Amino acid sequence: MSVTDLTPPAVFSGILGAERVIPGGPAASAWLRDFSWYSPVLENALADTTVDAVLRPESIDQLRACVAAAAGLRIPVTLRGAGTGNYGQSLPLQSGVVIDVRDVAGVLSVTEGRIAVLPGTVMKDAEAAARETGQELAVMPSTYRISTASGFVSGGSGGIGGAAHGDLWDDNVLAVELLTVEETPRTVRLEGDDVRPVLHTYGTIGVLTRIEFRLVPARDYTPVVVAFPDLPALAGFAHDLVSGDLHVRLCSVHEAAGAAMLTPITALYEPGEDVALLWADTAQLPALEAAATAAGGRTIAWTVKPHISQFPFSHSILWSRKAAPSSSWLQCEYASDRAEFLRQVAALREAYPGVFLQHIEVITSAGRTRPMGITPLVGLPDHERALEELITFCRALGMTVLNPHSYVVEEGGFVGDTAQVVALKTTSDPYGLLNPGKLGDSFFTSRGLTPPSARAASR
């Protein structure tokens, strides 16, 4: 066999057929983009991403064969779904192959409280299959119309349904099966707490082949806007709503300046009003309206065409970047305690008016209410220095800050039980080929392991 026959495009064309292998270069550029351009820091850091080939398997058998070949060649492997990530989760730091799993799709089974799907299954299709049985996904990404199951598990954290059922770590991923990256890949099944190492670790632990999500009884939902003349009052209402007995699948709070950037829906509310976007149980709408009125707000019917899912979570950053192209963003977590939460809201409003545009997704997690900030930042001078000052200010308020301007898992604060992650990574990816560099070199060296970048350099 000639040297040419050993190049990644040639090897994988023999497995998939030439039409399912896209060689590196201009033809592969669409697979080297995601929404990391939300961050001016990441936009620069990931500008030179390259790949030897993009692979598009159509079955688990083909996926397994691709993994085995990559292991034999000792080339990096990055898994990719729809590419809706914001942190460069699916953009390779080293050249190698990107495997697009979107054609390895389908619902495998739906039983009471559980749905099993293949990795490339679009979450909208999983939700539709669940609803045919009178159930719904406990949590799904706000990009559920295009996001894949494995992309959500590997690169996401929560989303719609979080107001009632929490995030991925709240037992909403019941089990996964993954392939090890070896010349003869093994299938490993993880259930319960053993699933945690694959959650939001950017596909660095194993190649997912089966995901089982938690289902809950289905409800009928109606999108509603609640408008308040004062942000602290709205924030208090939202905290009470999610903590109380009324059921909402979504509770997305937007300070007036940020709400004004959601241009397709601004006709629903008045300029200067702070708003919450709610996806509420239709049967409970009268009670919701009464609660909003009692708190000093008003409810507004959703009479616009765009779906409510296009505006919460990180979608707000898309709209802010459209309105202010030089804007940036920050992720943070406010206090669970209501009084402390409102103190933080007020302090940020006073210290950074018109800059820190508070956008808060209120969720229920681990038995407590968690206000999660996904905040547009407008007009920060000298971005990186000003960002550090802002992060310091937030931490002084007692807030947790997650850095959305890094492609490293550990800097985002999602690693979890590091010993558990390292143990599984060591056995499932012995050559360090899965998305190398994304766990971070310090993650490995501090535990006595050689980081993937060093292994790649030694080759």
Residue 321 sits in a domain whose CATH number is 3.40.462.40
| pLDDT band per the 50, 70, 90 thresholds, residue 451 | very low
Do 35 and 129 share a domain, yes or no?
yes
| pLDDT band per the 50, 70, 90 thresholds, residue 2 | very low
Quote the tokens at residue 366: 């681990």
- More confident call, 171 vs 204: 171
Quote the tokens at residue 215: 């289902």
Sign of the C-alpha dihedral computed for residues 380, 384, 385 and 387 taken in this order: positive
The per-residue pLDDT for range 44-59, each reduced to its tens digit, is 655 567 788 889 999 9
Quote the tokens at residue 258: 């940020």
Report which listed range, 34-43, 273-282, 322-331, 385-394, is most confident: 273-282
Do 1 and 32 share a domain, yes or no?
yes
Q: Is residue 409 part of a domain?
A: no
Quote the tokens at residue 202: 């950017």
Query: What pLDDT score does 270 carry?
Result: 97
Q: Which of 362, 73, 69, 144 is nearest to 237 (CA)?
A: 362
Percent of the chain scored above 90 by pLDDT? 66
Report which listed range, 22-26, 224-228, 313-317, is most confident: 224-228
Cα 207-210-213 angle, rounded to 5 deg: 120
Q: Are 99 and 58 in contact (CB under 8 A)?
A: no
Q: Is residue 403 part of a domain?
A: no
Mean pLDDT of 212-219: 98
Q: Map tokens 């992309």 to a residue.
A: 151
How far is residue 23 from each of residues 14, 101, 110, 206, 420, measured CA to CA in Å?
Answer: 14, 17, 38, 24, 36
Query: What pLDDT score does 149 carry?
Result: 96
Q: Is residue 407 part of a domain?
A: no
Q: Map tokens 């003349």 to a residue.
A: 229
Query: What pLDDT score does 285 carry?
Result: 98
Cβ-in-10-Å burial (0-12, 13-18, 19+) of 6 comes to exposed
Quote the tokens at residue 322: 């459209």
The per-residue pLDDT for range 111-144, each reduced to its tens digit, is 999 999 999 999 999 999 999 999 999 999 999 9
Quote the tokens at residue 291: 């609660």
| pLDDT band per the 50, 70, 90 thresholds, residue 173 | very high
Lowest mean per-residue pLDDT among 60-69, 393-402, 431-440: 431-440
Q: Is residue 52 part of a domain?
A: yes
Percent of the chain scored above 70 by pLDDT? 83
Residues constituting the chain: 459
Q: Is residue 325 part of a domain?
A: yes
328 pLDDT above the threshold of 90: no
Do 79 and 149 share a domain, yes or no?
yes
Cα 161-163-169 angle, rounded to 5 deg: 70
- More confident call, 420 vs 305: 305
Query: Looking at 364, 397, 430, which one is the last position of a domain?
Result: 397
* E strands present in 101-235: 107-111, 114-117, 135-137, 173-179, 187-191, 207-217, 221-228
Q: Are 237 and 276 in contact (CB under 8 A)?
A: yes
Q: Is residue 406 part of a domain?
A: no
Do 186 and 259 share a domain, yes or no?
no
Terminal Cα distance for the chain, rounded: 22
The per-residue pLDDT for range 221-261, each reduced to its tens digit, is 999 999 999 999 999 999 999 999 999 999 999 999 999 99
Instruction: Supply the CATH number for residue 15's domain.
Output: 3.30.465.10
Do 79 and 161 share a domain, yes or no?
yes
Do 31 and 157 share a domain, yes or no?
yes
33 pLDDT above the threshold of 80: no
Do 212 and 258 share a domain, yes or no?
no
Give me the amino acid identity at 270.
E
Interacting residues of 2 by C-beta distance below 8 A, sequence separation 6+: none
The per-residue pLDDT for range 377-416, each reduced to its tens digit, is 998 876 678 888 999 999 999 999 886 656 556 555 555 5
Q: What is the mean pLDDT of the chain?
A: 87
Q: Is residue 35 part of a domain?
A: yes
Do 293 and 360 share a domain, yes or no?
yes
Do 11 and 82 share a domain, yes or no?
yes
Rounded CA-CA distance 31/195 in Å is 27
DSSP letter string, 435-449: STTSS-HHHHHTTT-
Alpha helices (H) along 352-417: 383-396
Q: Is residue 71 part of a domain?
A: yes
The per-residue pLDDT for range 260-293, each reduced to its tens digit, is 999 999 999 999 999 999 999 999 999 999 999 9
Do 192 and 324 share a domain, yes or no?
no
Do 227 and 199 share a domain, yes or no?
no
Q: Which of 308, 305, 200, 298 is nearest to 251 (CA)?
A: 308
Range of the domain at 149: 1-218+415-459
DSSP secondary structure letter of residue 182: S
Query: What pLDDT score does 385 carry?
Result: 81
Rounded CA-CA distance 31/44 in Å is 17
The per-residue pLDDT for range 83-98, each reduced to its tens digit, is 666 555 667 777 889 9
Q: Which of 104, 109, 95, 105 is nearest to 8 (CA)?
A: 95
Enumerate the β-bridge partners of residue 299: 226
Do 239 and 268 share a domain, yes or no?
yes
Query: What pLDDT score does 308 carry?
Result: 97
Number of folded domains that form the chain: 2
